[in-house]
Amino acid sequence: MKLIRTLSWTMALAAGLFVGSAAPIGSAQDPDRDRGKREEPASVTGELTRVNPNSMTFSVKSASGAEMLFKYDERTIVTGAETNVAGLATSNGSTVTVTYRNDNAGNLAAKIEVHAKR
């Protein structure tokens, strides 16, 4: 009888340890888990090729020839030759540096630096 009670407690302890270790550190219940995975902002410099104010998008052609599409919003900062996103439409052909984050909706521009035309 004592052997059965000892085995029962040992099994219960082992089961408790197993269940307790089944949830890995950083599980879905841990809100800080994704903090380290947040993507750092990237930037690209190239020629501003198209601006569509209706869809709030613009395209930049990089030096390698790749064309990238970006979205902007009311929080996007514009510096340089133009001071707001409405003025971008008149800057086609200008060199721009775009700092952006890639989110679920695509590339969202955080800052657009318009360089003076040469």
pLDDT at 69 over 90: yes
Q: What letter would DSSP give residue 91?
A: G
Mean pLDDT in residue range 57-82:
91
109 with 70: CB under 8 angstroms? yes
Q: What percent of the chain has pLDDT over 90?
A: 40
CATH topology assigned to domain 41-114: OB fold (Dihydrolipoamide Acetyltransferase, E2P) (2.40.50)
What are the tens digits of pLDDT across the range 2-33? 555 554 555 655 555 555 555 455 545 544 44
**Could you state, in order of their start, the residue ranges of all structural domains in the chain?**
2-36, 41-114
Please, is 63 exposed, middle or buried when counting C-beta atoms within 10 Å of its C-beta (0-12, 13-18, 19+)? exposed
